[in-house]
Chains A and B, each alone.
Chain A
């Protein structure tokens, strides 16, 4: 721990050595371009969201958030995330564990498949579920017979969200677990730990920051997902509208104040996520540095 703090001053000094520095005007120009770009494309829109949301005062703002439809959209979004994130947490840890600690046939294929939701357009992710569970889909008739609704209902939204957010946790954990190797787990087993104890006492503490980071990203995407959810939702007000979908509907109805009010909640979520992410990133980096440092000492 003390070592990683000691690294910081060294890292700063490196930027300040004259031999590796660009002249002052180059720095000023580059920084100005970067900041201007940042202001115009990121800060300005973000500010606009909040400005538009509050244009008609706090009263309207609160009223549009507490309207039954908006409230339903918020609840549905929270519900979806509450189901999708824990499931992907379990899937992600299981997949990363299998990939990082074991050799098995089809491992490459599994790694590729985990990335599939990232490489496919979200609209297609939604369509897959319509094709499977929709009225004309593979399981459509059977589902209709048993009076189970998946498409244009909450289960479809949850399924599409799970699919889209699947890679976040696994992607974050695989490199971390691969860097750490299986020796600590082996040591724990030899000392008599059961499989569950090995996971709980050695694997989990070593990956906790990476895991949290993955969960934060996963959650942000689960709440913000538009494309895939839009395809399977059916846009039934107060029933199958998540927050992003609700924003779209309000906007299309020229109800700008309400649209921006809901949007401001999503924007707020993004800001909180970024803040948390920065905090956790710092911890992950430290953990990774420690495992790299440990393996450097060893070799």
Chain B
């Protein structure tokens, strides 16, 4: 089922949680709502579910206005950050709940319920826990049961609120890979909220970046990563180095140094260049081939990449990440002077920064 969010706004007192948000989510996709805490992503998810009502705007499910439809009738599955499993029920009863509370004429027979629940428990690979209580499960197991419970009512839309937020790093990684596989199996339109950019980029078909109640950018993970539309997106997705300067004849002038930008950049008095750590070439200072002079302050060479922290002449810090092989051949050490040449710079004019 497709979801269309049309001009939704929501205020909590004086706080604008959502400000004229419009998003289209095609049927069968796994979409991430990504943003820092307080950006309105959870509120939006709750509005889609019907647990919260929008002050203005509409939610269309499969083209029909569902704004006034009760949660019960929206046919959504909701997975809570803290699982919200019924603590006094066994795992089996938790999963069966959605089927058992149906009005008698829509309720499947107890044998049918049994069959469906055990199929779901197999799907989440936890059939052997059917008789346990939630308090006897680990966090990762609870979240998978919560997912099975949400899927039991065969929802048209699956909504997940920070589904891995309460889990430790290793379980988190396992579970998100597993969620992706599960989605490829069942293909239900899914929206999940997260503040973890790695999680969003790794799992989803498309990412909606939100900030301060507004949508900053929507697109596939590689598109938003490689072509951020706003300075917020550029700095939120992974670490980034900022260069303030002015744009003139195809160069970003930072102090007395000029960094080549390529064609198609309108001149601007005030602009900011964004460069990711892995987009630098590190050259020995003697090469003198243009670029920014800097001094190596610290090197963390663990694993395949070397993370190099450098200070510019004016004292500002730059993070660079190069492969160990290249770093080793350069033979650089802490305290050495080098020249930095960015391979790609994204430039935003300052009027966009103010927005």
Binding site for B on A (CB under 8 A): 1-3, 183-184, 186-194, 197, 201-202, 205-206, 290-291, 293-295, 297-299
Contact of A190 among B76, B82, B102, B166 (CB under 8 A): B76
Can you name 12 extra interface pairs (CB under 8 A) apart from A192-B153, A290-B135, A295-B82?
A1-B135, A184-B85, A186-B78, A190-B71, A191-B153, A192-B101, A193-B97, A205-B89, A206-B87, A290-B87, A294-B135, A298-B82
A178 to chain B, nearest CB (A): 15
- Determine if A201 and B135 form an interchain contact, defined as CB atoms under 8 angstroms apart: no
Top 7 closest pairs, chain A to chain B, by CB: A191-B98, A183-B84, A298-B82, A187-B84, A205-B88, A193-B101, A190-B78
Contact of A191 among B88, B101, B134, B135 (CB under 8 A): B101
- Determine if B101 and A190 form an interchain contact, defined as CB atoms under 8 angstroms apart: no
- Determine if A201 and B101 form an interchain contact, defined as CB atoms under 8 angstroms apart: yes
Contact of B133 among A1, A184, A293, A295 (CB under 8 A): A1
Q: How far is the CA of A41 from the CA of B262 in the complex (A)?
A: 93
Binding site for A on B (CB under 8 A): 49, 51, 71-72, 76-78, 80-89, 97-98, 101-102, 133-136, 139, 146, 149-150, 152-153, 166
Q: How far is the CA of A184 from the CA of B142 in the complex (A)?
A: 14
Counting chain A CB atoms within 10 Å of each CB, which of B82, B146, B149 scores highest?
B82
- Determine if A191 and B87 form an interchain contact, defined as CB atoms under 8 angstroms apart: no
Q: How far is the CA of A49 from the CA of B76 in the complex (A)?
A: 64
B314 to chain A, nearest CB (A): 42
Q: How far is the CA of A201 from the CA of B153 in the complex (A)?
A: 17
Q: How far is the CA of A205 from the CA of B87 in the complex (A)?
A: 9
Residue in chain A with minimal CB distance to B78: A190
Residue in chain A with minimal CB distance to B102: A192
- Determine if B135 and A184 form an interchain contact, defined as CB atoms under 8 angstroms apart: no
Q: How far is the CA of A193 from the CA of B70 in the complex (A)?
A: 11
Contact of B86 among A202, A290, A293 (CB under 8 A): A202
B226 to chain A, nearest CB (A): 36
Q: How far is the CA of A206 from the CA of B139 in the complex (A)?
A: 20
B25 to chain A, nearest CB (A): 18
Q: How far is the CA of A131 from the CA of B149 in the complex (A)?
A: 57
A140 to chain B, nearest CB (A): 47
Q: How far is the CA of A2 from the CA of B152 in the complex (A)?
A: 29
A293 cross-chain contacts in B, Cβ below 8 A: 135
Given known contacts A201-B97, A298-B166, is B135 in contact with A188 (CB within 8 Å)? no
Given known contacts A206-B88, A290-B87, A297-B139, is B97 in contact with A191 (CB within 8 Å)? yes
- Determine if B86 and A186 form an interchain contact, defined as CB atoms under 8 angstroms apart: no
B134 to chain A, nearest CB (A): 8
- Determine if B101 and A194 form an interchain contact, defined as CB atoms under 8 angstroms apart: yes
- Determine if A184 and B87 form an interchain contact, defined as CB atoms under 8 angstroms apart: yes
Counting chain A CB atoms within 10 Å of each CB, which of B51, B81, B97 scores highest?
B97
B85 cross-chain contacts in A, Cβ below 8 A: 184, 187
A197 cross-chain contacts in B, Cβ below 8 A: 101
B87 cross-chain contacts in A, Cβ below 8 A: 184, 206, 290-291, 294
Given known contacts A294-B135, A298-B166, is B77 in contact with A190 (CB within 8 Å)? yes
A188 cross-chain contacts in B, Cβ below 8 A: 86, 97, 101
Q: How far is the CA of A202 from the CA of B134 in the complex (A)?
A: 14
A299 cross-chain contacts in B, Cβ below 8 A: 166
B208 to chain A, nearest CB (A): 22
Residue in chain B with minimal CB distance to A190: B78
